[in-house]
Amino acid sequence: MKIENSVALVTGANRGIGLAFARDLLARGARKVYVGARDPATVTQAGVQALRLDVNKPEDVAAAAALATDVTLVINNAGIAQPGGFLAADSEEIARRIFETNFFAVLRVSKAFAPILKANGGGALLNVLSVASWVNGGELAAYSASKSAAWSLTNALRTELSTQKTQVLGLHMAYVDTDLTRGFDVPKSSAEEIVARALDGLEAGLDEVLADELTQQVKRGMTAPRPSYLPQAA
C-alpha cells in the first residue's frame, strides 16, 4: 500500500519500535497517525494524534475503533517480553500474561479494525512478530510461543482479509535496541532501520519482511538437514 495520504494507527507507539513507526509514517507523508498508548500523556511526538489504547482492555479497543473510523493502516506493535523457561515455577502465569498482549490483543485489535479497513478500501495490517516465532531456545520461552501463535494468526488473517483486499504483512526480526532488550548483551539493530525495511516492504506490497541478516538466515535454515529451530552443534 502507499503510505502517502494514509491514515495509520500504531499500538504501543509512545516509545520503542512503535514510536519509530510513527515517525517514519509521518516522514513518508501519512495524512494522520494515531499513536496508541496506555497513557496518552506519555506521547511526546509532535504531529500525531494520541489515543488511549490499552490493547488488553476491550473497552479501549472498542472506543478506538469508534473514534478512528478513517484508518487505512493498522500496525499491531504493542508487545511484552519476560525472560525464562517453561520449567520455571511461575511459567504458566507468565505465559498467560504474555499471550494476553502478544496474541489475544492482536486478535482483538485486528477484528475491531477489519471492518474499518474494509470500509476504507482494504488498506493494510502490519503485525510486529519476531525471529522468535520460528526458534525457541527456552530463554524467552513464553514470548517465543506467543510470537509463534501471532505468526499463525497473521497467516490466517491474510487469507481471511484477502476477500476485502487488505494487505497483511508479518514483520520478523532479531534483537532491536529498545527498552525491551536493555538487559541483553547482543548485537542489535536500530528501531529506525527495522521500521524503514518494514515500511519499504509494505509499500512494495509484500506479505512478509525479514528485516535483518540473522532472521533471513534462520528462515533459510528451516528446511536444512538439521533445521534452524533444533539445537545446533557448538
Ligand X SMILES: NC(=O)c1ccc[n+]([C@@H]2O[C@H](COP(=O)([O-])OP(=O)(O)OC[C@H]3O[C@@H](n4cnc5c(N)ncnc54)[C@H](OP(=O)(O)O)[C@@H]3O)[C@@H](O)[C@H]2O)c1
Residue from 49, 91, 181, 228 touching ligand X (CB under 6 A): that is: 181
Which of 63/119 has CB closer to ligand X? 63
The three grid cell numbers given for residue 191, joined into one nine-digit string = 528501531
Residue from 79, 84, 123, 170 touching ligand X (CB under 6 A): that is: 79
Residue with cell 476491550: 58
Candidates 8-16, 43-51, 61-69, 159-167 — which segment interacts with ligand X by CB under 6 A? 8-16
Candidates 84-92, 169-177, 197-205, 216-224 — which segment interacts with ligand X by CB under 6 A? 169-177
- The C-alpha atoms of residue 205 and residue 185 are separated, in whole angstroms, by 35
Kind of pairing, strands 167-172 and 49-52?
unpaired
Tell me how many degrees the CA angle 12-17-20 measures, rounded to the nearest 5. Answer: 105
Which of 4/207 has CB closer to ligand X? 207
Buried b / exposed e along 82-113 (16+ C-beta atoms within 10 A): eebeeeeeeeeebbebbbebbbbbbebbbebb
Number of residues that bind ligand X (CB under 6 A): 28
Candidates 26-34, 44-52, 173-181, 220-228 — which segment interacts with ligand X by CB under 6 A? 173-181
- The C-alpha atoms of residue 51 and residue 39 are separated, in whole angstroms, by 8
Site residues (CB under 6 A) for ligand X, limited to 14-33:
14-18
Name the H helices within the chain.
Answer: 16-27, 58-67, 91-99, 105-119, 141-161, 191-203, 213-220
Amino acid at 95: A
Residue from 161, 173, 202, 210 touching ligand X (CB under 6 A): that is: 173
- The C-alpha atoms of residue 85 and residue 83 are separated, in whole angstroms, by 7
Candidates 67-75, 76-84, 88-96, 202-210 — which segment interacts with ligand X by CB under 6 A? 76-84
| Residues in contact with ligand X, shown as a per-residue x/- string from 193 to 222 under the rule CB under 6 A | ------------------------------
Which of 7/105 has CB closer to ligand X? 105
By CB under 6 A, name the binding residues for ligand X.
Answer: 11-12, 14-18, 38, 42, 53-56, 77-81, 101, 128, 130, 173, 175-176, 178-181
